Amino acid sequence: MERPQFFTPSEVASHRSPSDLWVSFLGGVWDLSPLVKRYHGDVLLLPIMEAAGKDISSWFDPQTKDIRRFVDPLTCCERYYTPRGRFVHIPPRGPCSNWATDFGTPWWKDSRYKVGLLSAKVRWIRIVNTLTSQEQLLEVCSEETLVEILHRYRRYNSHAHSYTWKHLGEVLDMTKTLSQNGVVDEDPELDRLRLDRDIFTPSILLHFDDDLTEG
């Protein structure tokens, strides 16, 4: 199976316009832009648009993976709990003749909108090009392999494939994650000692091999 793509919370937060609207919930990342386009102008989009770029896990029951429910004290019937207001694919409080029920799968269960997974822990690393002495701070997902991190770094160096990646003198296995390569995440210990994480950001050194890649 194809490996899912991981995203940082800041990446999700950058998609917060009506034409480019992402949210995250229960560990997944969802692109709801097609939903917004489909229901353009519908007042039921407002809660979703207000949540653009945010994590909305609080909307969901982690066990059922469905929208939270409660028992309506007036009708004694179970209803979806939507304190921010009813939104797309949530039924009205009572019978309603103008609410279409033929929309198919609710958007929060429709895998077509899912674009990847939200990182459980992001890390900052410092990538140092030993050929040019250029340094780049990079926010990455702890679940990503070095190959996936390399693709993030290519926006700063399109020839990143032409380098050997090392940490503390050891050549890194590009098919493994930072932790699997022995690049320890020291954030918990630094927090315990009340030390500045920025001062102790782990460094990856890039050693030039050739220039056979294309930009």
Model confidence pLDDT, tens digit, residues 136-170: 999 999 999 999 999 999 999 999 999 999 999 99
- Give dist(CA 93, CA 50) in Å, integer: 22
Residues 6 or more apart whose CB falls under 8 angstroms from that of 151 comprise none
Residues in the chain: 215
pLDDT at residue 215 is higher than 50? no
20 or 186, which is more confident? 20
- Give dist(CA 50, CA 12) in Å, integer: 14
The CATH number of 122-208, from 3.90.1200.10, 2.60.120.330, 3.10.20.90, 2.60.40.10, is 3.10.20.90
pLDDT at residue 86 is higher than 90? yes
Give me the chain's average pLDDT, please: 92
pLDDT at residue 214 is higher than 70? no
6-118 fold? Flavocytochrome B2; Chain A, domain 1 (3.10.120)
Q: Provide mean pLDDT across the span 175-191.
A: 92
Spatial CA neighbour of 178 closest among 162, 166, 160, 163: 166
> Do the two domains 6-118 and 122-208 of this chain adopt the same fold?
no
Q: Where are the alpha helices (DSSP H) in the chain?
A: 9-13, 33-38, 46-50, 146-153, 187-193
% residues pLDDT > 90 (the chain): 78
Return the domain boundaries, the chain: 6-118, 122-208
Q: Where are the alpha helices (DSSP H) in 51-195?
A: 146-153, 187-193
Residue 141: C-alpha distances to residues 118, 120, 146, 162 (Å)? 9, 8, 10, 23
Give, for 34, the enclosing helix (H) or strand (E).
Answer: helix 33-38
Tokens encoding 198: 């920025």
Please state the separation of Cα 170 from the chain's center in Å.
30
Backbone φ and ψ for 45, nearest 5 degrees, come out as -80, -15
Strands 114-118 and 28-31: antiparallel
Confidence band for 95, pLDDT divided at 50, 70 and 90: confident
pLDDT of residue 192: 86
